[in-house]
Amino acid sequence: MATSAGRSPGSTASLRAANTGRVLSVLRVTTATESDIPTTQADLARLTGLAPATVSSIVRQLVGTGLVETDPGSGRRGTSVRLSRRAGIVAGIDFGHSHVAVGLGDLTGTLMRHRRVPLSADHPQAQGLDEAATLLENLLDEEGSSLSEVRTIGLGLPVPIAAGVVRSSAILPGWVGVKPQQVAEDRWGCPVHIENDANLGALAEHRRGAARGYADVVFIKASSGMGAGIVIDNEVFRGSAGTAGELGHLTLDEQGPVCRCGSRGCLEAYVSTATIQSMLADQLPGASLEQIVRAAHEGNVSARRTIEDTGLYLGWGVASVANLLNPALLVVGGELAQAGELLLGPVRQALRRHALDTVAATPVTTSKLGALASLTGAVLVAAESTDLLAD
């Protein structure tokens, strides 16, 4: 029985395609993470387990197609090889509660340029995509590229998506009932991969940020809402319906404040930018989170106490996650991460208080990628979803 590409599974052509895929898979990683250390053909032979002659033949073929570039080294086996930026580009789109960010990346998943604009919290889906389309067009113009060169788009949303449909009305009410992959692919005419924004942040921190080198990680995105991205054994864990990581709706107090999800006493009702601003509305009216953090550093007792209390609540929730999953590292991202140790100190204190002894010392750190974590993850997903050998 022939394959969909017209090659029988055991044919020479099928074997060569598989070997070419192995070479490209290695180049995705080495081009992205070791750009200052050239990857030679000898390295490719060692990392793929292929014969040096086979690697040389494959590299010549890939150079001819424009997928890779080479630089002469010391002898034929010393030639360095990397993915070519001319082979195509990918895009990432990150929708938040009140913003959209768009970035362009190469086929290694490296973010090359990006832009971000604010959106109203209740923006309709069509308006959000219009804003994203404008940003994407501007970035492509700056890059000297066109939409036809975009191979794949990764799109992040801060909502649970079940069976391809946005179900929650709490965070993006203008997107409820929308099939985001379908509308985005209709809009841009290329493959689009949808992912939760916290999962994208977890992926980015695991591959390029603070969690690099850790197999089991929890990334907490704390901003206007709260979610967690979970990495287990180096893979993002999504759960049976794709909604794993809804940490913000862990109940702390059944008699507590009403959460926007309709429940009472959710962690998100105690830990969010809006909650902090509301608590300080009398002392610091109209202050942004950045201004509140600055005031806390400058000695404002109310601002400092509010951030500390927020950290204690966050640590209470994180302790539950640590007890259940026993991660090697906890990474705090989102807007609240800008508070740094003012927030993390109380998080660690609460972790010691509420977690088992075996996990109470789990390291807690802030995101290395900051506001770009989810966008970086969107670009990574787009790059890794692209079939490099497709026409």
How far apart (Å, rounded) are the C-alpha atoms in residues 155 and 132?
10
Q: Are 69 and 82 in contact (CB under 8 A)?
A: yes
Degrees, nearest 5: CA angle 151-103-100: 120
Whether residues 67 and 107 fall in one domain:
no
Residue 2, in any domain of the structure = no
- Give the model's pLDDT for residue 243: 84
Which of 105, 102, 95 shows the shortest CA–CA distance to 125?
Answer: 95
Only one residue has tokens 């079940």, namely 162
**What are the structure tokens assigned to 297, written together?**
């550093």
Residue 194, in any domain of the structure = yes
**Read out DSSP for 253-266?**
-TTSPBPTTS-BSB
Q: In CATH, what number is assigned to the domain containing residue 73?
A: 1.10.10.10
Residue ranges in 255-372 assigned as alpha helix (H): 267-270, 273-279, 289-297, 301-325, 341-354
- Give the model's pLDDT for residue 37: 64
- Give the model's pLDDT for residue 71: 82
Q: Which residues contact 46 (CB under 8 A, 6 or more apart)?
A: none
Domain count across the chain:
3
Whether residues 319 and 187 fall in one domain:
no
- Give the model's pLDDT for residue 14: 85
Q: Are 303 and 280 in contact (CB under 8 A)?
A: yes
The b/e string for 54-66 (b: 16+ C-beta within 10 A; e otherwise) is: bbbebbeebeeee
- Give the model's pLDDT for residue 151: 94
Domain membership of residue 296 as a residue range: 212-367
Q: Which residues contact 324 (CB under 8 A, 6 or more apart)?
A: none
Per-residue pLDDT of the chain (391 residues; tens, 9 = 90+): 344 445 555 578 888 888 998 988 888 877 666 445 678 888 999 999 999 999 999 999 999 888 888 887 654 556 788 888 777 899 999 998 889 999 999 988 999 999 999 998 888 899 999 999 999 999 999 999 999 999 999 999 988 777 788 876 667 888 888 999 999 999 999 999 999 999 999 999 999 999 999 999 999 999 988 999 999 999 999 998 888 999 999 999 999 999 888 899 999 999 999 999 999 999 999 999 999 999 999 999 999 999 999 999 999 999 999 999 999 999 999 999 999 999 999 999 999 999 999 999 999 999 999 999 999 999 999 998 998 887 5
Residue 5, in any domain of the structure = no
- Give the model's pLDDT for residue 38: 73
- Give the model's pLDDT for residue 1: 37
Residue 359, in any domain of the structure = yes
Q: In CATH, what number is assigned to the domain containing residue 155?
A: 3.30.420.40
Residue 4, in any domain of the structure = no
Whether residues 328 and 220 fall in one domain:
yes
How far apart (Å, rounded) are the C-alpha atoms in residues 27 and 246?
35
Whether residues 217 and 362 fall in one domain:
yes
Taking the CA atoms of the chain, what radius of gyration do you get in angstroms? 23
**What are the structure tokens assigned to 263, written together?**
């429940």
Whether residues 101 and 138 fall in one domain:
yes
Whether residues 28 and 74 fall in one domain:
yes
At which of 86, 106, 133 does a domain end?
Answer: 86
Whether residues 191 and 126 fall in one domain:
yes
At which of 86, 116, 139 does a domain end?
Answer: 86
Whether residues 362 and 379 fall in one domain:
no
Residue 64, in any domain of the structure = yes
Residue 207, in any domain of the structure = no
For residues 273, 275, 280 and 286, what is the CA-based torsion angle, rounded to 10 degrees?
50
Q: Which residues contact 286 (CB under 8 A, 6 or more apart)?
A: none
> What spatial distance separates the first Cα and last Cα of the chain, rounded to whole Å?
23
Residue 196, in any domain of the structure = yes
How far apart (Å, rounded) are the C-alpha atoms in residues 388 and 68?
11
Whether residues 81 and 108 fall in one domain:
no
How far apart (Å, rounded) are the C-alpha atoms in residues 197 and 199?
5
Q: Are 335 and 273 in contact (CB under 8 A)?
A: yes
